[in-house]
């Protein structure tokens, strides 16, 4: 294996391990349990997991997604978090984008918390704002572009929040667009909003048609915003391609 191949393998394993930790943080948020104390448990029988059962991704695959104690199925989101963070580590850290990777880690946590609790905690949004400002300073981002990015993102969702009386989306989604506007600027924010609304619409239609939800079921929008942000981090060229597609250069 070449040096580059070894580095990619190392970064993926590192990212997967970080993803496992991030998932624990997200799963224990709001439960009163500390993410730094206590053993990892089976979500069904609460059996303490051994070290061999805690190897990121590999344990999930080799156990066939089952708890050895009760044979209950282990939810796929455990492995998805590890796989996603592993891939993010390879793409971002391989090019030295440490601050972007830290921002991505916060987004991974927010995706799981919002999916589970319909909540985007202020603590993580404030942390993301700090990382976003540090990144903007590092890349010498245009201040005007940052301001317009925040206004386009948070402003448009704020108007939607008011117009739907808070039923169309939560105020946490509005606040999440502040750091994302800083990270991506005006053009990136417009593309991000398009991708998130498009993905949210497709998923909502699928869930409705399949009967998994009803028209009155609340679906968290934060994961779509965060997911679109991760997509643009991995494929930054998508913003320009989006505007070329629209005929705006």
Instruction: Assess whether 162 and 131 both reside in one domain.
Output: yes
Instruction: Assess whether 237 and 183 both reside in one domain.
Output: yes
Confidence at residue 38, expressed as pLDDT on a 0 to 100 scale: 57
Confidence at residue 76, expressed as pLDDT on a 0 to 100 scale: 84
Instruction: Assess whether 35 and 134 both reside in one domain.
Output: no
Instruction: Assess whether 137 and 234 both reside in one domain.
Output: yes
* Residue 7 exposure: Cα atoms within 13 Å on the Cβ side: 10
CA distance 68 to 168: 42
Residue 49 scores a pLDDT above 80:
no
Could you say which of 34, 64, 96 is where a domain stops? 96
Instruction: Assess whether 160 and 242 both reside in one domain.
Output: yes
Lowest mean pLDDT among 45-49, 55-59, 76-80, 81-85: 45-49
Instruction: Assess whether 218 and 148 both reside in one domain.
Output: yes
Per-residue pLDDT tens over the stretch 60-101: 777 766 767 666 677 788 889 999 999 999 999 998 899 999
Give whole-number Cα distances, 47 to 39, 40, 57, 235, in Å.
9, 8, 19, 40
CA distance 154 to 196: 14
Name the pLDDT band for 197 (thresholds 50, 70, 90). Answer: very high
How many distinct structural domains can be found in the chain? 2
CA distance 45 to 43: 6
- Average pLDDT estimate for 215-239: 93
Instruction: Assess whether 5 and 83 both reside in one domain.
Output: yes
Name the pLDDT band for 192 (thresholds 50, 70, 90). Answer: very high
Instruction: Assess whether 90 and 208 both reside in one domain.
Output: no
- For the chain, strand residue ranges (E) read none
Could you say which of 37, 72, 96 is where a domain stops? 96
Instruction: Assess whether 21 and 59 both reside in one domain.
Output: yes
Structure tokens at 168: 């169309």
Instruction: Assess whether 69 and 188 both reside in one domain.
Output: no
Residue 105 scores a pLDDT above 90:
yes
Residue 229 scores a pLDDT above 90:
yes
Instruction: Assess whether 74 and 168 both reside in one domain.
Output: no
- Average pLDDT estimate for 103-119: 96
Parent domain of 74: 1-96
Instruction: Assess whether 89 and 104 both reside in one domain.
Output: no
CA angle 51, 91, 3 (to 5 degrees): 80
Name the pLDDT band for 154 (thresholds 50, 70, 90). Answer: very high
Per-residue pLDDT tens over the stretch 207-216: 989 888 888 8
Could you say which of 43, 72, 96 is where a domain stops? 96
- Average pLDDT estimate for 39-43: 64
Residue 22 scores a pLDDT above 80:
yes
């Amino acid at each position: 294996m070449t040096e580059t191949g070894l580095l990619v393998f190392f970064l993926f394993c590192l990212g997967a391990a970080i993803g496992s930790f991030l998932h624990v943080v997200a799963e224990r948020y709001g439960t009163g349990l500390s993410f730094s104390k206590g053993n990892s448990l089976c979500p069904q029988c609460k059996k303490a997991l051994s070290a061999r059962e805690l190897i990121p991704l590999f344990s999930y695959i080799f156990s066939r997604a089952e708890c050895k104690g009760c044979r209950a199925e282990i939810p796929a989101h455990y492995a998805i978090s590890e796989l996603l963070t592993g891939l993010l580590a390879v793409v971002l850290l391989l090019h030295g984008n440490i601050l972007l990777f830290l921002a991505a880690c916060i987004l991974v946590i927010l995706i799981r918390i919002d999916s589970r609790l319909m909540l985007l905690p202020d603590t993580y949004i404030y942390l993301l704002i700090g990382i976003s400002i540090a990144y903007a300073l590092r890349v010498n981002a245009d201040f005007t572009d940052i301001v317009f990015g925040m206004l386009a993102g948070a402003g448009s969702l704020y108007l939607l929040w008011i117009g739907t009386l808070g039923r169309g989306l939560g105020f946490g989604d509005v606040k999440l667009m502040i750091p994302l506007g800083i990270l991506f600027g005006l053009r990136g924010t417009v593309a991000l909003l398009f991708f998130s609304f498009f993905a949210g619409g497709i998923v909502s239609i699928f869930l409705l048609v399949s009967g998994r939800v009803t028209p009155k079921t609340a679906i968290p929008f934060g994961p779509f915003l965060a997911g679109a942000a991760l997509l643009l981090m991995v494929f930054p060229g998508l913003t320009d391609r989006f505007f070329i597609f629209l005929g705006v250069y």
